[in-house]
Amino acid sequence: MNHKGAEKILSVYWFAILFIVAAGIVYMVFSFYGKPYDIRELETNALADKAADCLNYGGYMNENWQNLEDENFLSECNLNFNVESDFEWENDQYYVEIKVSDFNSNQELKKIAVGNHNLRLNCAVESDNFPVCLEREMYSFDKANSQYKITILSVVRKTEKNT
Amino acid sequence: MIDKKAQVGETVTWVVATVIIIVILTITIIASGLIWKDKEIQSQYFSSADIITSKSFFSYLLTEDSERTIYSQVKEEGNLNENNGNRALRVFDSFNEDYSNIMLEKIVKEEKNFAY
């Protein structure tokens, strides 16, 4: 009789342990797969690279770089910011700002800014819930040997999708 | 009396086993939480080359200084001279943090006594 009672208690104990272990595994799996990968830094890099490609090719400034304006930058550089249909986003998750300055005098020669301008304001804040910003500098020159410093700022928001 | 001792021994075994199971489980949960805290994929995992830096470097070498490209100057002289060394310092100033140990930076740093 005593032996049977002990077995009953033991089986309850085993179920309790089984439940605890299963709950632990479920928690671990959920904590890993429940959060998406944050690829925004990759996206800012890709965006900056595309912008750099558009201005500089083969070591020289592209011949038509002076014709680039806010209005035609996306089409000239084969960029499309309207690619996210989730969360009712409409073309407002990206921002690119390019400043071309004279390398020697540092005088700003051209500024191009496309995308959601408000995103730039959040660049000072470093948090997962804010846009990811990347600023790079590049040196280039044209065939007349004029030298330029190009500053590229790329910003990606898409917070809901990456955090 | 013997029965009681046996029961106590068995109970202690199970208590110890339970403690071990819970400790291992807790360690695993904490470790997994720490390892995967930031699921942030950084660019260096994927990009094989830094396009912006390579463009700058390429442009720098093709820049004409004293009617010769910097590439041919460096090739002939075997090192940077005052002019192209100073220019390198200005061009690659913003890359210092990422590329503190590349060869050009080393040459540039050695030549940092140029007026800058």
pLDDT tens-digit profile of A22-77?
A: 998 898 888 778 778 888 888 899 999 999 999 998 889 998 888 999 999 999 99
What backbone torsions phi and psi does residue A28 show, to the nearest 5 degrees?
A: -65, -45
Q: Would the pLDDT of B21 be above 50?
A: yes
The answer to whether residues A110 and A66 touch, using CB atoms and an 8 Å cutoff, is yes
Q: What is the mean pLDDT of residues A105-120?
A: 91
Q: Read off the pLDDT of residues B58-99 as tens digits, 9 standing for 90 and up.
A: 898 998 887 888 889 888 888 888 888 888 888 887 666 666
Of B26, B14, B47, nearest to A7 by C-alpha is B14
Residues within 8 A of A (CB atoms), B 49-108 only: 51-52, 55-56, 58-64, 90-91, 94
Of B66, B101, B97, nearest to B82 by C-alpha is B66
Q: What is the mean pLDDT of residues A98-103?
A: 93
pLDDT score of A151: 94
Instruction: Provide the percentage of residues in chain A whose pLDDT is more than 70.
Output: 96
Does residue A130 belong to the interface with chain B, where contact is any CB pair within 8 Å?
Answer: no
The rounded distance, in Å, linking the Cα atoms of A122 and A102 is 28
Band of residue A83 on the pLDDT scale cut at 50, 70, 90: confident
Q: Would the pLDDT of B13 be above 90?
A: no
Q: Are strands A108-115 and A132-141 parallel, antiparallel or unpaired?
A: unpaired
DSSP state of A136: E
The rounded distance, in Å, linking the Cα atoms of A69 and A113 is 8
Asked whether the beta carbons of residue A138 and residue B55 sit closer than 8 angstroms, the reply is yes
Band of residue B33 on the pLDDT scale cut at 50, 70, 90: confident
Q: Which residues of A touch B25 (CB under 8 A)?
A: 20-21, 24
Tell me the count of A-B CB pairs closer than 8 A. 85
Q: What is the mean pLDDT of residues A72-99?
A: 85
ipTM of the complex, rounded to two decimals: 0.76
Please report, as a single letter, which amino acid is at residue A55. L
* Cross-chain CB nearest to B94 (options A103, A137, A147): A137
Does residue A146 belong to the interface with chain B, where contact is any CB pair within 8 Å?
Answer: no
> Coil, strand or helix: which one is B55?
helix
- What is the pTM for the complete model shown? 0.73
Which of B59, B89, B98 to mutate to probe the A interface, most A CBs <10 Å? B59
Does residue B33 belong to the interface with chain A, where contact is any CB pair within 8 Å?
Answer: yes
What backbone torsions phi and psi does residue A79 show, to the nearest 5 degrees?
A: -115, 145
The beta-strand segments (E) located in chain A are: 56-57, 60-61, 94-102, 108-115, 132-141, 147-156
Nearest CA in chain A to B89: A139
pLDDT score of B109: 55
Does residue A37 belong to the interface with chain B, where contact is any CB pair within 8 Å?
Answer: yes
* Cross-chain CB nearest to B29 (options A28, A136, A139): A28
Of A24, A115, A128, A10, nearest to B31 by C-alpha is A24
Q: Would the pLDDT of A153 be above 90?
A: yes
pLDDT score of B101: 53
Does residue A113 belong to the interface with chain B, where contact is any CB pair within 8 Å?
Answer: no
The rounded distance, in Å, linking the Cα atoms of A140 and B62 is 9
The rounded distance, in Å, linking the Cα atoms of A5 and A1 is 6
Q: Which residues share a beta bridge with B68?
A: B65
Residue A122 CB partners (closer than 8 Å, separation 6+):
A130, A131, A133
Band of residue B115 on the pLDDT scale cut at 50, 70, 90: very low
